[in-house]
């Protein structure tokens, strides 16, 4: 997808809205490496006959042009030629005009637009729009006369309607059959269906109420749409077989139900670095709650970077509120150590235990693992008493991912305090056989002599 065309159908003060839009776009463009959608303005022009509404006044095109935005006109009118709509739009500088297939004098209107295009030396994009119930095959007759196809994903006339899912099938077919045409979708487009529209192959999506209904959320929503588009258009180069195996994405695995886009981790991290400092918690909430694993990875990568620039308590609160979605080992390990553990270094041993035991005493797999791996920075800082106190609660857990995490923490502690780490393990051995996986990770840096003491 190349373009986001914002419908101003429900905008009361066009100039003020465009000022706010421009400010938000500049914020997004502050990182020059971000690839964002071209933003234009969409005019829903109505005559209260073809549809029972009056739409946007054409005079507003002057204001949009003064603000430097490209704009396109969608005429939901019975007589675009006879009633002067086309001439007036061209007079105001519009070079992108779409009329409805369903009007009576369509052929005459198309011929008139072709005439105007010739007069403008080709500088006019001619489009035909079809309603949701109109068969897409009717467009074949006009294939050599039009430049653009606009597909309505709601019944035309009013903003704020719900997107019709079957529209996606139409868009995919049209993309294959009309490779050289500019294809646009209009109606009910928002974050819930945006990835489907991106992947359908459309060139442009018209977004109305999602952007215009609440200007205080405009930046958040613009960022989210651009992030979705960026993620979806990343190269799909990872091995699905390998990722599915290590993440247990299979019917009887703990990752069951996840969808993989096959985006390599370094690629996703590079994208996240461009967006984490402008993406909102509301947008992250949407991303982290997705059943697409790559989306949740993106979210936890953002959290790990955000913790250094935002209130760490807010990040921890966000994690706690959305802990059900941090539900695989890679997601836990990417955010818990830095977002929770590292932020506890200035706390007492008892305070560290109080916080982390809330996780380790949970019956939920990934919540418990969060409590364990959060010890990594604490272990590296040689806070042995805090480490031992937390690990005492989970040391003999049988689940292999708990054992790996516990061994991992002890390995880090051993690097800075080999004597006490070995003694801790010897004491545990006296109680019960140390789990093999745990021991393997914990003793990875030990000498043969030290390992023999644990046999």
How many Å apart are CA 413 and CA 422, to the nearest integer? Answer: 10
Sort strands 71-76 and 96-100 into parallel, antiparallel or unpaired: parallel
| Mean pLDDT over the full length of the chain | 96
Residue 197's closest CA among 223, 221, 170, 218?
A: 170
How many Å apart are CA 100 and CA 92, to the nearest integer? Answer: 21
Return the pLDDT at 429.
95
How many Å apart are CA 211 and CA 218, to the nearest integer? Answer: 5
Residue range 364-400, pLDDT digits in tens: 999 999 999 999 999 999 999 999 999 999 999 999 9
Q: Show Cβ contacts of residue 175 under 8 Å, excluding neighbours closer than 6 positions.
A: 183, 200, 201, 202
Q: How far, in whole angstroms, is CA 349 from its chain's centroid? A: 38
CATH assignment of 3-232, given 3.40.50.720, 3.30.300.160, 3.20.20.70, 1.10.287.3510?
3.20.20.70
Return the pLDDT at 153.
97
Q: What's the Rg (C-alpha) of the chain?
A: 29
Query: Do the beta carbons of residue 70 and residue 100 sit within 8 Å?
Result: no
Instruction: Provide DSSP, 154-189.
Output: S-TT-SSPPP-TTHHHHHHHHHHH-TTSEEEEESS-
Return the pLDDT at 161.
84
Q: Which residues are catalytic?
A: 44, 186
Residue 132's closest CA among 160, 103, 153?
A: 153
Return the pLDDT at 420.
98
Judged against a pLDDT cut of 90, whether residue 172 lies above it is answered with yes
Query: Do the beta carbons of residue 312 and residue 343 sit within 8 Å?
Result: yes
Residue range 247-271, pLDDT digits in tens: 999 999 999 999 999 999 999 999 9
> Max alpha carbon distance in the chain (Å)?
96
Residue range 30-72, pLDDT digits in tens: 999 999 999 999 999 999 999 988 899 999 999 999 999 999 9
How many Å apart are CA 311 and CA 323, to the nearest integer? Answer: 18
Backbone angles phi, psi at 291, to 5 degrees: -85, 5
The token pair at 13 is 């003060």
Residue 21's closest CA among 11, 34, 31?
A: 11
Burial of 211 per CB tally in 10 Å (0-12, 13-18, 19+): buried
Return the pLDDT at 308.
81
Domain locations in the chain as residue ranges: 3-232, 240-452
CATH assignment of 240-452, given 3.40.50.1820, 1.10.10.10, 3.10.310.40, 1.25.10.90?
1.25.10.90
How many Å apart are CA 221 and CA 230, to the nearest integer? Answer: 14
Return the pLDDT at 328.
97
Residue 130's closest CA among 152, 110, 146?
A: 152
CA–CA distance from 128 to each of 111, 152, 264 (Å)? 12, 11, 40
How many Å apart are CA 450 and CA 455, to the nearest integer? Answer: 9
Query: Do the beta carbons of residue 211 and residue 194 sit within 8 Å?
Result: no
CA–CA distance from 210 to each of 186, 203, 218, 394 (Å)? 12, 19, 8, 47
How many Å apart are CA 267 and CA 346, to the nearest integer? Answer: 34
Neighbour count for residue 254 (Cβ, 10 Å): 17
How many Å apart are CA 326 and CA 370, to the nearest integer? Answer: 9
Residue range 118-163, pLDDT digits in tens: 999 999 999 999 999 999 999 999 999 999 999 999 999 777 789 9
Residue 79 binned pLDDT confidence (cut-offs 50, 70, 90): very high
């Amino acid at each position: 997808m190349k373009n986001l065309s914002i419908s101003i159908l429900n905008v009361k003060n066009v100039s003020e809205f465009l000022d706010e839009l421009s400010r938000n776009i500049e914020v997004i463009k502050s990182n020059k490496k971000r690839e964002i959608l071209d933003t234009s303005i969409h005019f829903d022009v109505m005559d209260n006959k073809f549809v029972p509404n009056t739409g946007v006044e054409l005079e507003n095109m002057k204001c949009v042009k003064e603000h430097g935005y490209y704009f396109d006109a969608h005429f939901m009118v019975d007589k675009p030629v006879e009633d002067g709509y086309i001439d007036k739009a061209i007079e105001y500088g519009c070079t992108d005009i779409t009329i409805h297939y369903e009007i009576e004098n369509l052929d005459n209107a198309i011929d008139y637009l072709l005439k105007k295009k010739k007069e403008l030396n080709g500088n006019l994009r001619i489009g035909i729009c079809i309603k949701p119930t109109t068969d897409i095959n009717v467009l074949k007759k006009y294939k050599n006369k039009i430049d653009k196809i606009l597909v309505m994903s709601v019944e035309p006339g009013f903003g704020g309607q719900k997107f019709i899912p079957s529209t996606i099938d139409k868009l995919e077919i049209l993309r294959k059959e009309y490779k050289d045409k500019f294809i646009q979708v209009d109606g009910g487009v928002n974050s819930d269906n945006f990835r489907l529209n991106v992947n359908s192959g459309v060139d442009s999506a018209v977004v109305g109420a999602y952007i215009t209904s609440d200007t205080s959320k405009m930046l958040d929503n613009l960022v989210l749409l651009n992030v979705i588009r960026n993620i979806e258009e990343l190269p799909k180069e990872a091995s699905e077989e390998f990722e599915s195996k290590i993440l247990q994405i299979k019917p009887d695995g703990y990752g069951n139900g996840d969808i993989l886009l096959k985006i390599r981790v370094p690629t996703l991290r590079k994208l996240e670095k461009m967006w984490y400092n402008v993406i909102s918690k509301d947008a992250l909430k949407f991303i982290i709650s997705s059943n697409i694993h790559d989306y949740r990875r993106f979210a936890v990568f953002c959290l790990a970077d955000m913790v250094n620039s935002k209130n760490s308590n807010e990040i921890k609160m966000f994690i706690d509120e959305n802990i059900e979605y941090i539900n695989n080992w890679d997601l836990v390990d990417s955010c818990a150590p830095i977002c929770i553990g590292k932020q506890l270094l200035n706390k007492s041993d008892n305070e560290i235990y109080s916080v982390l035991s809330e996780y380790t005493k949970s019956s939920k797999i990934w919540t418990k693992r969060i409590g364990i791996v959060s010890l990594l920075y604490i272990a590296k800082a040689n806070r042995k008493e805090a480490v031992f106190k937390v690990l005492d609660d989970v040391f003999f857990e049988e689940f292999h991912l708990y054992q790996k995490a516990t061994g991992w923490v002890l390995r880090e502690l051993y690097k800075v305090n080999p004597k006490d780490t070995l003694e801790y393990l010897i004491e545990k051995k006296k109680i019960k056989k140390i789990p093999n996986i745990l021991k393997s990770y914990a003793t990875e840096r030990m000498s043969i002599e030290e390992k023999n003491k644990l046999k």
